[in-house]
Chains A and B, each alone.
Chain A
Amino acid sequence: MIDVTTKNDNTGDVRLTGISKTYGNFTAVHPLDLTVPQGSFFALLGASGCGKTTTLRMIAGLEEPTSGTVFLGDQDVTRLPPYKRPVNTVFQSYALFPHLDIFENVAFGLRRRGIKSVKKQVEEMLELVQLGEQARKKPHQLSGGQQQRVAVARALINHPKVLLLDEPLGALDLKLRRQMQLELKRIQTEVGITFVHVTHDQEEAMTMADTVAVMNAGRVEQLGAPADLYENPKTTFVANFLGTSNLIEAEVDAKSGEDIVLKAGGGKLVLPEARCSAPTTTGGKVLVGVRPEKISLTHADDAGEIPDGRNRVTGKIADASFIGVSTQYVIDSPVCPELSVYVQNVDRDARLVPGADVVLHWSPAHTFGLDAAQDIDAGTEEEAV
């Protein structure tokens, strides 16, 4: 689909061409082309059942693709069993061997490849994940976070071309998860191995990955750098699944230079043409999107102070929740029943309480346009995980 970057050394590239997986009548993964460049931290993001884990398992060799080819570097590994592939997996539930101690768990891969003197390597690896002291304990004697680090060490010690991580942080509590995200990112930078990380946590994907592929119903919806995906979603699913988006249905009125002028609820909105992924024929429908934190809120009495050239929408505050760093407003507007606005708590206007009439305004540069033929709510339910 999209080749992100190309570096000279491509032995750690993962290249999927036309890969798909069907179970009976159910298609878990639709034919998919994907290239993960050597040394990158790549995240497959999506709700449960979107095919991300199946894709990962096909790379690992744990699942046989119905069609298509898996390349590692220039080698076609589609028909190779897992034990012959130079990739290792960190499993969702860690899958540590309960009958072996931590040292032997980490040494497992080395021993299977017939390496005799494993002591030094295992000790170094346990140091890297800060578990040197625990070498002779059994997995069940460790905490969740420690087990997770053993799972990473056990995979990394083999110096795989690609490390696959299947929701490795799902079982940890929030604080530990944040800590392990930074830890994994540090390790990845240190060892320089290609990481393919599967997660349903959009924040996790955006924090850790260089490139994120958002998957939905067995297809990649969009692929790109986290900031790019967030600022320029191409589908309603991506717009709603990554953070929150306000989507306003509008009609194309005219084009002026590099901007498109749209009509929405009697008002006019301006959208840069470059940020619109929908066909724009005059009179056609477009979904105008804007992120809640990009919107400023001004009381209706002060509407005259709003600078020219900003997109405006009027409305009434339906609800306000104080979060600490910000206040989250829900605005009832003629163009859209529930608009979200996040306002930083810098100078709080005491008049902005539920029931107040307000004007929402934002810079046209922060506006994006989506094809109105899509389901406007796609990706919203799953977003809360």
Chain B
Amino acid sequence: MATVTEAPPLAPAPEKKPPRKRGRWTPYLLLLPGLAWLLVFFALPMVYQASTSVQTGSLEQGYEVTWHFSTYWDALAEYYPQFLRSVLYAGSATILCLLLGYPLAYLIAFRAGRWRNLIMILVIAPFFTSFLIRTLAWKTILADGGPVVGALNSLHVLDVTSWLGMTAGDRVLATPLAVVCGLTYNFLPFMILPLYTSLERIDGRLHEAAGDLYAKPVTTFRKVTFPLSMPGVVSGTLLTFIPAAGDYVNADLLGSTDTRMIGNVIQSQFLRILDYPTAAALSFILMFAILIMVTLYIRKSGTEDLV
């Protein structure tokens, strides 16, 4: 290459050009399948739904775009209880997931030793069964007069939850508690996995350093471990809250008409009532509501420089 006097070594140079040219386009070529997928299955449906949400008409006479934005206000006015309920249920499920998932993720990351992989498999194992079947199983678990309800009843737990309005009488099924339990159960792995990942990344020597600098184990957790696991807490809560807020299967199978979430409303508007504009408007409201909440949450938790 560096030869100046001899001509032959120059020969390979022109050959080198084509691969360089191909190299320049390779990243875009590699992006193409993903971009095409996003366009067909995300961007286009979004545009289509957005247009649906501002259409008027009927199923028989067809719909047309009339920029009828009041569909949004009407939908919000009629279904705000379901919206609030969705946020409440999804929020409760997320908090429960965090409370249940954090100790488990901590255990797997720091204490499990050779059991680590086994416990991880147990966490993921439910995914091998259908979501629907697992949720139906909870119907059996929480069945009236079953052992779980019986135990809760005799421990007077149900008295407390009834008083809180989460259960009714000696039933658990068809109550808010059942829906929140189902949501918690179904989304728990989505909380544990990101938590585990961020806990596992923490250098064990930081715990030793904190202990060496007069921090009791509890303080070490509060001042070192928990702050360092914030990226996992944030992504875990998002991965739990977002799908839980739009979920309708749990409310449908484990709840009653009094526990309908916004997902149930959208589903019935789309599939049973066939009021497409309202259904599309509700979907967009849900999306924007989640977007705003998530943005505020990420701002508040201030994890930019940790993620």
- Report which A residues bind B (CB closer than 8 A): 60-62, 81-84, 87-89, 91, 93, 95-99, 108-109, 112-113, 138, 154-155, 158
Most central of B211, B213, B224, B306 by chain A CB within 10 Å:
B213
Inside 8 A of B213's CB, which chain A residues have their CB?
Answer: 83, 88, 108-109, 112, 154-155, 158
B165 on the interface (CB 8 Å rule)? no
Q: Does the CB pair A138–B211 fall under 8 Å?
A: no
The 0/1 profile, CB within 8 Å of A marked 1, for residues 179-220 of chain B is: 000000000000000000000000101101111111110010
> Which residues does chain B contribute within 8 Å of A112, judged by CB atoms?
213-215, 219
Expressed in whole angstroms, the minimum distance between the Cβ of B67 and any Cβ of chain A is: 49
Cα–Cα distance between A62 and B227 once the two chains are bound (Å): 23
**Could you list 28 A-B pairs, sorted by A, with CB under 8 Å?**
A60-B212, A61-B212, A62-B212, A82-B208, A82-B211, A82-B212, A83-B212, A83-B214, A88-B212, A88-B213, A89-B208, A91-B208, A91-B209, A95-B203, A95-B206, A95-B208, A96-B209, A97-B206, A97-B209, A99-B227, A99-B228, A99-B306, A108-B213, A112-B214, A112-B215, A113-B214, A154-B213, A158-B214
Known A62-B212, A109-B214, A112-B215; further 5 A-B contacts with Cβ < 8 A: A82-B208, A84-B214, A89-B212, A91-B209, A97-B206
A-B complex: 10 closest residue pairs judged by Cβ atoms: A95-B209, A109-B213, A112-B214, A95-B205, A82-B211, A89-B212, A99-B227, A83-B214, A112-B215, A108-B213
CA distance A93 to B204 in the complex (A): 11
Interface assignment of B15: CB less than 8 Å from any CB of chain A: no
Write out the residue numbers on chain B whose beta carbons fall within 8 Å of the beta carbon of A93: 203, 205
Residues of A within 8 A of B212 (CB): 60-62, 82-83, 87-89, 155
Q: Which residues of B contact A97 (CB under 8 A)?
A: 206, 209-210, 224
Return B223 CB to nearest CB of chain A, in Å. Answer: 8
The docked-state distance in angstroms from the alpha carbon of A89 to that of B207 is 13
* B78 contacts A by Cβ under 8 Å: no
A98 and B307 CA atoms in complex are apart in Å by 12
Residues of A within 8 A of B215 (CB): 83, 108, 112
B305 on the A face (CB < 8 A): yes
Can you name the residue of chain A whose Cβ is closest to the Cβ of B303?
A99
Say whether B228 contacts A81, CB under 8 Å: no
B205 and A91 contact, CB distance less than 8 A: yes
- Contacting residues, chain A, for B306 (C-beta < 8 A): 99
- Whether the Cβ atoms of B305 and A108 lie closer than 8 Å is no
- Specify which of B211, B212, B223 lies most central, judged by the most chain A CB atoms within 10 Å of its CB: B212
- Expressed in whole angstroms, the Cα–Cα distance for A98 and B208 within the complex equals 14
Q: What is B's interface to A at a CB cutoff of 8 Å?
A: 203, 205-206, 208-216, 219, 223-224, 227-228, 305-306
Pair B210/A108 contact, Cβ less than 8 Å: yes
Main secondary structure of the interface of B (DSSP, over half): helix
Please, which residues of chain A bring their CB within 8 A of the CB of B214? 83-84, 109, 112-113, 158
A95 partner residues in chain B, CB cutoff 8 A = 203, 205-206, 208-209
**Closest chain B residue to A164 by CB distance?**
B212
A residues near B206, Cβ cutoff 8 Å: 95, 97-98
A199 to B209, CA, bound (A): 19
Q: A94 CB to closest chain B CB, in angstroms? A: 8
Instruction: Point out the residues of chain B lying under 8 angstroms from A158, CB to CB.
Output: 213-214
How far, in Å, is B245 (CB) from chain A's closest CB?
Answer: 29
In the assembly, what is the distance between CA of A91 and CA of B213, in Å? Answer: 12
Closest B residue to A92 by CB, please name it. B205
User: Given contacts A93-B203, A138-B305, is CB(A83)–CB(B209) below 8 Å?
Assistant: no
Q: In whole Å, how far is A326's beta carbon from the nearest beta carbon of chain B?
A: 39
In the bound complex, CA of A108 to CA of B212 (Å): 10
Q: Output the least CB separation between A108 and chain B (Å).
A: 5
A218–B58 Cα gap in the complex (Å)?
87
Residue of B whose beta carbon sits closest to that of A84: B214
Determine the residue in chain A with the shortest Cβ distance to B230: A99
For A91, list chain B residues within 8 Å (CB).
205, 208-209
Q: For the complex, give the distance between the alpha carbons of A154 and B214 in Å.
A: 12
The smallest beta-carbon distance between A268 and chain B, in angstroms, is 57
Q: How far is the CA of A108 from the CA of B224 in the complex (A)?
A: 10
Distance, CA A93 to CA B203, complexed state (A):
10
Shortest C-beta distance, A135 to chain B (Å), equals 17
CB atoms of A98 and B211 under 8 A apart: no
Contact residues in B for A88 (Cβ distance below 8 Å): 212-213
The residue in chain A whose Cβ has the minimal distance to the Cβ of B214 is A112
| Whole-angstrom distance between the Cβ of B271 and the nearest chain A Cβ | 48
Bound-state CA distance A95–B227 (Å) is 15
Known: A83-B216, A99-B227. A62 touches B203 (CB 8 A): no
Point out the residues of chain B lying under 8 angstroms from A84, CB to CB: 214
Q: A60 CA to B214 CA in the complex, in Å? A: 11
For B208, B209, B214, which residue has the most chain A Cβ atoms within 10 angstroms? B209
Bound state CA distance, A110 and B34, in angstroms?
A: 52
Give A168 Cβ to nearest chain B Cβ, in Å: 13
Report B111 CB to chain A, min CB distance, Å: 17
Closest to A154 in B: B213
CB-CB under 8 A from B223, the residues of chain A are 108
On whether the beta carbons of B305 and A89 are closer than 8 Å, the reply is no
State whether A89 touches B219 (Cβ < 8 A).
Answer: no
Closest B residue by C-beta to A93: B205
A82 to chain B, nearest CB (A): 4
For B208, give the chain A residue with the smallest CB separation. Answer: A62
Pick the contact of A81: B205, B211, B227 (CB < 8 A): B211
Return chain B residues, CB-CB under 8 Å to A82.
208, 211-212
Instruction: Known contacts A83-B216, A95-B203, A99-B227; decide if A62 and B211 are in contact (CB<8 Å).
Output: yes
Contacts of B224 in A (CB 8 A): 97, 99
* Residue from A88, A93, A99, A155 with most neighbouring chain B CB atoms (10 Å): A99
A87 vs B224: C-alpha distance when bound (angstroms): 20
> What is the bound-complex CA distance between A62 and B220, given in angstroms?
14
Q: Give bound CA distance, A109 to B227, whole Å.
A: 17
Q: What is the bound-complex CA distance between A88 and B219, given in angstroms? A: 17
Considering only CB atoms, which chain A residue lies closest to B211 in the complex? A82
User: With a CB–CB cut-off of 8 A, which chain B residues contact A138?
Assistant: 305
List chain A residues, Cβ under 8 A from B228: 98-99
How close is B303's CB to chain A, nearest CB, in angstroms?
Answer: 10
Q: Name the residue of chain B whose CB is nearest to the CB of A160.
A: B212
Instruction: Say yes or no: B211 contacts A83, CB within 8 Å.
Output: yes
| Chain B residue at minimum C-beta to C-beta distance from A151 | B209
